[in-house]
Structure 1
Amino acid sequence: MGHREDLLEGAVRCILEKGYASTTARDIVEASGTNLGSIGYHYGGMANLMAAALERAVEAWGLSLANAIMTAGADGLTGVERFERYFEHMIESVKSQRPLMLATFDAFLQAEHSEPVKLMLVEGMRGARRLWAQVFHGIDGAAEPAKADLVGSFYQALVSGVLTQVLIDADDAPTAQDLSAAVRIVAASF
């Protein structure tokens, strides 16, 4: 690995250990074995490096969630089973990856003051919407962008809300089965 990749990996480690807002350039340099000048040279500044590091960490988390319902045996799942498998995995991963989840909230606050962070979050959210529409309903975002965005936005709201509840009070947060029951109740009233 070169300095660029070392910096990125060091920044990811710091985000997971210290949180997004508490990570300093010196922390990253220490974790990566590089030097302060490398941050500017390779990333143009700390904001760009931190955005790239958070993007890498969150993207890996999101893909692990998608893989949970795209693995062998998932083809035969009903819509309810697919939904519940996803949210079971998601809820457990929020608990096991708490530092990363908290770092995303740090980043939300930083987005007001950092264009690279805001851009990374916006692009990540758009990509996640399309991924959820594809994974849950087979909607091709390229062929049906409006439909994919609509359905994906529903899942974005649901994931964000569940993530928040699990972080704040995991013992009282809804289970995957609670969520599927709630969706059925809401859908029946339309």
Structure 2
Amino acid sequence: MSHRDNLLRAARSCLLDKGYAQVTVRDLVASSGANLASISYHFGSKDQLLTRALLDLNAEWGTELFAALGSEETLPDVERWARIISSIEANRPLWFVNFESIGYVEREPEIRALNARGQAESRLALAQAFGGLGADADPAEIHAVGSHYYSLLTGLAVQILTDPAAAPTAEEIVRADSHPRTTATSS
């Protein structure tokens, strides 16, 4: 395995074990067996290495999750949400690192781009899974439907990470999402 591959493997492990802010160059060098200069040579900086590793971790998680959700139109929404909940619970360290990385978007364009790309991919996949919208659907509709379900997904993740006992169940999410809305009337 090359120094570059060893560094990526080490960065992934360190991110999940320590979180974004706590990973040091020493951690990466010790875990990878590579030398300090390899980080700059292959990635430019520690932050760029960590961002690349986080991008890879998220891509793998997204592929696994959306494969589990499937494109089956007959899969009930309760089952889809149950699979999402299971995936969040099984990948808690990754979710913590993702939420931690949001603090870096203001000053790190590469991390901002990572987040933006991940959100766009998630909106499309969620619009397909829950709204039955294909990639050829109206982009505005994909954005609206995907954003709705992405908001539910990230809000659910926050609740699972911070207060798992009070986080909603799949049944509660579906019940609330299909609850009839009332409109306020003015007198």
User: What's the TM-score, normalizing by structure 1?
Assistant: 0.88
Residues 115-166 of structure 1, C-alpha deviations (whole Å, 9 max, x = no match): 1111111111111111211233332335522211111111110001000001
Counting aligned pairs with the same residue, the percent is 34
Structure 1 equivalent of residue 174 of structure 2: 180
Structure 1 equivalent of residue 105 of structure 2: 111
Q: Is the 8 A contact 2:73 2:132 kept in 1?
A: no
RMSD: 1.8
Secondary structure at the aligned position of 2:179 is classed as helix
Letter in 2 for 1:35: N
Distance in 1 of aligned mates of 2:33 and 2:79: 40
Distance in 2 of aligned mates of 1:96 and 1:28: 25
- 1:71-150 equivalences under 5 Å are 75=72, 77-78=74-75, 81=76, 83-150=77-144
Residue 105 and residue 130 in structure 1: after superposition, are their counterparts in 2 closer, same or farther (change >3 A)? same
Secondary structure at the aligned position of 1:111 is classed as coil
Residues 32-87 of structure 1, C-alpha deviations (whole Å, 9 max, x = no match): 121111111111112211111111112211222111121xxx73625xx1x22222
Distance in 2 of aligned mates of 1:142 and 1:16: 36
Q: Is the 8 A contact 2:128 2:134 kept in 1?
A: yes
Q: Is the 8 A contact 2:29 2:36 kept in 1?
A: yes
Q: Higher mean Cα deviation, 165-174 or 129-138?
A: 129-138
Structure 2, unaligned runs of 5 or more: none
Letter in 1 for 2:122: A
Shift of 1:24: 1.2
Higher helix residue share: 1
Aligned residues: 183
Structure 1 equivalent of residue 147 of structure 2: 153
User: What's the TM-score, normalizing by structure 2?
Assistant: 0.90
Letter in 2 for 1:89: R
Q: Is the 8 A contact 2:92 2:161 kept in 1?
A: yes
Q: Does residue 39 of the first structure (1) align with residue 39 of the second (2)? A: yes
Rg larger in structure: 2
Secondary structure at the aligned position of 2:20 is classed as coil
Q: Does residue 165 of the first structure (1) align with residue 159 of the second (2)? A: yes
Distance in 1 of aligned mates of 2:16 and 2:171: 30
Letter in 1 for 2:46: M
Distance in 2 of aligned mates of 1:146 and 1:4: 40
Letter in 2 for 1:178: E
Distance in 2 of aligned mates of 1:146 and 1:140: 12
Residues 91-131 of structure 1, C-alpha deviations (whole Å, 9 max, x = no match): 12222221111111110112222111111111111111112
Distance in 2 of aligned mates of 1:94 and 1:134: 19
Q: Is the 8 A contact 1:66 1:86 kept in 2?
A: no
Q: Higher mean Cα deviation, 153-162 or 40-49?
A: 40-49
Distance in 2 of aligned mates of 1:45 and 1:61: 24
